[in-house]
């Protein structure tokens, strides 16, 4: 087989949906598995849908996920340029080939004329007017006029397009690597526009010419492109490139969390969940979105989650590093039916990745966030803090949002629990406990535990009487990490201060 080459070919029409990231991931995994090349190609021929900043967003998203293209607009490579708008001159020659071979023709019908025909057909009960073999010989094109007349029209500046001449009465069969044989009846296919008057090719033409010139061996893309594949195979035939036509693999849809229909960007807004890798800014709040990154996801968790959204390894294993994914990946194990976007599962993956990280690595990673909040940010402290918190968080932000009390005074106390547990008549005893803590030479969790236990014995109190009080006094909440470890990390002076302050608050609230 030729050297494997795959491409991710997004159009820069806005933020890259998470489904696009999954397409890029599967391309990347196959490329690495086969020791091939992963190409990024920007399909920006439709100027009307071009959105400034989208290309940079796509690139930043791939880089955040660790899916670094081997070739692409900012990565170089021998098959560039990798932006289709910079390849305009290349396409013209290929369109001429199709015109010369009789596989394409000039069409001069204006948009208004075609609209009028569509309406007239509609009135006759024909809903689906198509520019195709059944009507092309009744329309205004180079098939129905002399060469000279066509040339004169072009020279006069009359608007034109070049269309593919789809042959009638044939069946085109595509062997999809995921779906098996998919048949297209050519009578169902319209004569797609290949080139517009401004010299810009349409997606169909540019995509095929570039896949050929860039020696692409596998086209892995979303299911929504399956319906175009009949046209694409005809184009390969028209050019005489069938021998080197890439293999096709159309990925299943990503479905809404309830499984009902395709996951859209609106679902992200509606459900308050990210469906984009990175946040997307916009003056129009309707178009602005929060991404997985800013929600506090680890990119490795996102990749792991996406890998299993439509593909399975055939084993029980769920946690895969990128290298393990490359090793285990195969197109055959991609499912045909839609994959439900389960945000709880995404969160579960993130929890596993955070938990699995070394405390020192986490501390270094969180340090900038700590500094941003003007929190204590020395590594040894952050390392122990991470060790205490990492089992209890879902997102990176949770470390500081839920564990703020490691850096600041307690903001709010869980008064409902205080009211159940605080007995004003025990205040004096609790003060004794506080004072006994000041006497500890080594403020270690073992020593604190011992002191608390001997206090309970002498005061005839149980764990349930004392520990919730200590916990809420130190952190405000019943949900924090192990109490004695937490006290050790905060240090004697701080703990004594917190106990005094909290006992006063508790007295006032029962
Ligand atoms: N430009 C198309 C897109 O935006 C590419 C489809 C394909 O991979 O052929 O998804």
Distance CA 40, CA 507 (A): 65
pTM of the model: 0.93
Which of helix, strand or coil describes residue 33? helix
Pocket test for ligand 1, best of 45, 225, 227 (most atoms within 8 A of CB): 225
Q: Does the beta carbon of 20 lie inside 6 Å of ligand 1? A: no
Tokens 């390849």 belong to which residue? 87
Contact by Cβ (8 Å): 194, 234: no
**In the numeric block, which tokens belong to residue 184?**
């297209």
Distance CA 425, CA 444 (A): 29
DSSP secondary structure letter of residue 72: B
Pocket test for ligand 1, best of 51, 82, 207 (most atoms within 8 A of CB): 207
> What are residue 196's phi and psi, to 5 degrees?
-105, 165
Specify the pLDDT at position 263. Answer: 96
Instruction: Identify which of 354, 359, 293 has the alpha carbon closest to the alpha carbon of residue 319.
Output: 354
Q: Does the beta carbon of 225 lie inside 6 Å of ligand 1? A: yes
Q: Does the beta carbon of 202 lie inside 6 Å of ligand 1? A: no
Q: Does the beta carbon of 10 lie inside 6 Å of ligand 1? A: yes
The Å distance, Cα 240 to ligand 1 centre, comes to 23
Instruction: Identify which of 230, 274, 280 has the alpha carbon closest to the alpha carbon of residue 250.
Output: 230
Nearest CA to ligand 1 atom 3: 10
Distance CA 225, CA 132 (A): 20
Distance CA 329, CA 332 (A): 9
Q: Does the beta carbon of 407 lie inside 6 Å of ligand 1? A: no
* Terminal Cα-to-Cα distance of the chain (whole angstroms): 79
The Å distance, Cα 443 to ligand 1 centre, comes to 62
Q: Which residues of 399-428 are buried (b: 16+ CB within 10 A; e: fewer)?
A: bbebbbbbbeebeebbeeebeebbeeebee
Q: Does the beta carbon of 46 lie inside 6 Å of ligand 1? A: no
Q: Does the beta carbon of 350 lie inside 6 Å of ligand 1? A: no
Pocket test for ligand 1, best of 9, 44, 192, 229 (most atoms within 8 A of CB): 9
Q: Does the beta carbon of 207 lie inside 6 Å of ligand 1? A: yes
Instruction: Identify which of 401, 365, 402 has the alpha carbon closest to the alpha carbon of residue 382.
Output: 365
Specify the pLDDT at position 196. Answer: 92
Please report the atom of ligand 1 found closest to the CA of residue 8.
8
**In the numeric block, which tokens belong to residue 235?**
């184009």
pLDDT along the chain (510 residues), means of 10: 91 95 98 98 93 96 98 97 96 96 97 92 89 95 97 95 98 97 97 92 97 98 97 98 97 96 93 96 88 97 98 96 97 96 98 98 96 96 98 96 97 96 96 96 97 96 96 97 97 97 95
Please report the atom of ligand 1 found closest to the CA of residue 220.
8
Please report the atom of ligand 1 found closest to the CA of residue 221.
8
The Å distance, Cα 99 to ligand 1 centre, comes to 25
The Å distance, Cα 3 to ligand 1 centre, comes to 22
Distance CA 379, CA 250 (A): 47
The Å distance, Cα 8 to ligand 1 centre, comes to 8
Q: Does the beta carbon of 64 lie inside 6 Å of ligand 1? A: no
Please report the atom of ligand 1 found closest to the CA of residue 7.
8
**In the numeric block, which tokens belong to residue 348?**
């579960």
Which of helix, strand or coil describes residue 34? coil
Contact by Cβ (8 Å): 2, 244: yes
> What are residue 482's phi and psi, to 5 degrees?
-50, 125
Please report the atom of ligand 1 found closest to the CA of residue 207.
9
Catalytic residues: 265
Q: Which residues contact 216 (CB under 8 A, 6 or more apart)?
A: 5, 6, 7, 39, 210, 246
Contact by Cβ (8 Å): 343, 257: yes
Instruction: Identify which of 155, 148, 139 has the alpha carbon closest to the alpha carbon of residue 197.
Output: 155
**DSSP bridge pairs for 250:** 221
CA atoms within 13 A on the CB side of 218: 28
Contact by Cβ (8 Å): 302, 343: no
């Amino acid at each position: 087989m030729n050297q494997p080459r795959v491409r991710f070919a997004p159009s820069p029409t806005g933020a890259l949906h998470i489904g696009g990231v999954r397409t890029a991931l599967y391309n990347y995994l196959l490329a690495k598995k086969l020791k091939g090349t992963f190409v990024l190609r920007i399909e920006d021929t439709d100027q009307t849908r071009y959105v400034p900043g989208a290309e940079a967003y796509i690139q930043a998203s791939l880089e955040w996920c660790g899916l670094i293209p081997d070739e692409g607009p900012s990565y170089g490579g021998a098959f560039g340029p990798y932006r289709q708008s910079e390849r305009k001159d290349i396409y013209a020659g290929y369109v001429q080939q199709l015109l010369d071979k009789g596989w394409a023709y000039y069409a001069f019908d204006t948009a208004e004329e075609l609209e009028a025909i569509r309406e007239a057909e509609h009135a006759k009960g024909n809903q689906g007017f198509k520019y195709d073999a059944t009507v092309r010989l009744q329309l205004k094109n180079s098939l129905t006029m002399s060469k000279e007349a066509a040339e004169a029209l072009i020279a006069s500046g009359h608007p034109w397009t070049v269309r593919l001449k789809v042959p009638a009465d044939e069946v085109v069969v595509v062997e999809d690597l995921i779906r098996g044989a998919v048949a297209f009846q050519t009578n169902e296919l319209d004569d797609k526009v290949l080139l517009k008057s401004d010299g810009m090719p349409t997606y169909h033409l540019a995509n095929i010419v570039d896949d050929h010139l860039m020696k692409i061996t596998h086209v892995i893309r979303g299911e929504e492109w399956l319906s175009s594949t009949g046209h694409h195979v005809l184009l390969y035939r028209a050019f005489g490139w069938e021998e080197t036509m890439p293999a096709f693999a159309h990925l299943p849809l990503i479905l809404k969390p309830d499984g009902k229909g395709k996951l859209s960007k609106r679902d992200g807004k509606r459900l308050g969940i990210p469906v984009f890798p990175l946040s997307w800014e916009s003056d129009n709040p309707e178009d602005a979105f929060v991404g997985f990154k800013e929600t506090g996801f680890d990119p490795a968790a996102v990749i792991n989650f996406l890998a299993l959204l439509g593909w399975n390894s055939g084993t029980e294993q769920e946690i895969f590093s990128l290298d393990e994914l490359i090793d285990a990946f195969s197109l055959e194990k991609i499912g045909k039916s839609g994959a439900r976007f389960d945000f709880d599962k995404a969160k579960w993956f993130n929890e596993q990745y955070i938990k699995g990280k070394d405390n020192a690595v986490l501390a270094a990673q969180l340090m900038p966030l700590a500094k941003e909040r003007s929190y204590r940010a020395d590594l040894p402290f952050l390392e122990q803090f991470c060790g205490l918190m990492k089992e209890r968080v879902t997102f990176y932000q949770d470390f500081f949002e839920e564990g703020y009390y490691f850096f600041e005074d307690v903001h709010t106390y869980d008064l409902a629990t205080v009211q159940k547990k605080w007995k004003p008549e025990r205040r004096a005893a609790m003060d004794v406990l506080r004072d006994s803590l000041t006497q500890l030479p080594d403020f270690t969790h073992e020593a604190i535990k011992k002191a608390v236990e001997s206090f309970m014995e002498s005061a005839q109190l149980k764990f349930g009487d004392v520990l919730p009080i200590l916990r809420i006094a130190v952190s405000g909440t019943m949900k924090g990490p192990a109490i004695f470890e937490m006290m050790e990390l905060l240090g004697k002076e701080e703990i004594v201060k917190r106990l005094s302050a909290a006992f006063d608050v508790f007295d006032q609230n029962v």
